[in-house]
Structure 1
Amino acid sequence: MKLYTYFRSSAAYRVRIALNLKGLAWDAVPVHLVRDGGEQRQPAYLELNPVGLVPTLDDDGQLLTQSLAIIEYLDETHPEPGLLPAGAADRARVRAIAQAIACDIHPINNLRVLQYLKREFGISDAQRDAWYRHWVEVGLAGVEQLLARDKRTGTFCHGDAPTLADCCLVPQVFNARRFGCDLSAMPTVRRIAERCATLEAFRLAAPENQPDAE
């Protein structure tokens, strides 16, 4: 398997975690999202992924895009260890937590949105960072309640083994800390992220441990 990735991309980070949890062998193909206007916008990469985003997974010629779709593909093709629980209601809960992060928080704070705000509206770096912190803090506050109010939350987001939800939570917490977000009112989010950080699969997927880390 080849994963087209960028060390700081939350979406690519999610897939790196999932690949490692599955114990799968994979090679990183770095795609620099800033250099030369963004390598993800170059024709060669757009041939692989017309949306122009990372990650893209090449599984023996089968090209897959979108992090949540890739992770569910990995879960279906390599079932152990499972990243979704057995029951329908429990699977829906894990997907809801994952989507609260990947579909609600992340899209309005990813690189291309921040670049657009700066380019088209002339906002300062301080204003850009304030935008980021506001929406991440609002979003993660909601995730905190999803976790804290539900008895199915365990050592991890759902029970005592990592799931799709944890694959999404950890990268978002990493970026929240990078931008100086206030997580003091989110003890469950912080506890779970800290527990995940003790697992090799998460450590190896961390941005600082990637071949393209800067």
Structure 2
Amino acid sequence: MKLYTYWRSSCSYRVRIALGLKGLAWESIPVHLVKGDQRAPSYLAHNPSGFVPTLVLDDGTELVQSLAILDYLEAVWPDPPLLPADPLARARVLAAAHVIAMDTQPVTNVGVVGHLKSAYDADQQGGIDWMVHFMERNFAAFDKLILPEGRFCFGDSPTWADICLIPQLYNAHRWGVDLSRFPRLTEIERAALALPAFDAARPETQPDAE
């Protein structure tokens, strides 16, 4: 498989983690978001939304949107399971994951903050303040949705909640979010990054890291 990715893309980071947890081999194809590679016609032919990641299967089939890709991987390679089989437990894991994937990342990504600056005259600090506000607010909600104990968000094995959390915490560190309010989340982060799949997916270890 091939993955169109960017080293600092949290959506790409999620898929890299999942591929690692499933033990799947893949090839990295970098798409430089800051330089605008995602807007090139050659890339839009793969993903018309102009986002990363795009996963190309061995038969050439292309999949987009990180959670849709995670869902495909879970269906085709169910071991190890990254979602509970019990419907209620599954819904709780998905709710927490969606707080990050739907409520937080979309409003704090580079495209949204760039538009905030260009269209509404926000300066660099204003863009950072915007990101920090949404991350702090949604980390507080996430913290209340997960279990109060366990190595990971929902027990002793990682789930989609952890896969979404760890990349967002990377962004939180980058932009100076005060994480002292969220000791449970940083404990989970330490446990996750101790696993080879999470460690190998870190932005700084990617071939296109700058």
TM range (shorter): over 0.9
**Secondary structure, in 3 states, of the residue corresponding to 1:82?**
coil
Query: Where does 1:153-172 land on structure 2 (aligned, <5 Å)?
Result: 153-172=149-168
Partners of 1:86 and 1:157 in 2: CA distance: 16
Aligned partners of 2:92 and 2:145 also within 8 Å: no
Q: Distance in 2 between matches of 1:158 and 1:15?
A: 19
Q: Is the 8 A contact 2:9 2:52 kept in 1?
A: yes
Cα distance, 1:62 vs structure 2: 1.2
Match of residue 133 from structure 2: 134
CA distance in 2: counterparts of 1:205 and 1:14, whole angstroms: 8
The number of equivalent residue pairs is 209
Residue of structure 1 in register with 2:107 after alignment: 108
2:18 matched to which residue of 1? Answer: 18
Q: Deviations over 1:61-80 (max 9, x none)?
A: 11101101101100111111
The residue aligned with 1:44 is: 42
Q: Structure 1 runs of 4+ off > 6 angstroms?
A: none
Contact 2:3 2:53 in 1 (8 A): yes
Q: How far does residue 154 in structure 1 lie from its aligned partner after superposition?
A: 2.0
Q: Structure 1: which 5+ runs fail to align? A: none
Q: Secondary structure at the match of 2:181?
A: coil
For 1:167-178, list aligned pairs within 5 A: 167-178=163-174
Superposed CA offset, 1:131-153 (max 9, x none): 11111011111111112xx46x5
Q: Distance in 1 between matches of 2:175 and 2:57?
A: 34
Q: CA deviation at 1:188?
A: 1.1
Would the aligned equivalents of 2:22 and 2:79 in 1 still touch at CA under 8 Å? yes
Given residue 123 of structure 1, which amino acid in structure 2 is its aligned partner? A
Choose which of 46, 55, 58 in structure 2 pairs with 1:57: 55
Distance 1:189 1:206 in 2: 17
Unaligned 5+ runs, structure 2: none
| Other-structure match for 1:30 | 30
Partner residue of 2:77? 78
Deviations 1:43-73 (A, max 9, x none): 0000000011000000121110110110110
Partner of 1:98: 97
SS in 2 for 1:48: coil
Match of 1:187 in 2: 183
Give the C-alpha shift of residue 122 in structure 1: 1.6
d(CA) in 2 for partners of 1:162 and 1:72? Answer: 15
Deviates more, 1:115-124 or 1:49-58: 115-124
Q: Please tell me the root mean square deviation across aligned C-alpha atoms, in Å.
A: 0.9
Give the fraction of aligned pairs with identical amino acids, expressed as a percent. 52
Q: Normalization by structure 1: what TM-score? A: 0.96
TM superposition shift of 1:11: 0.3
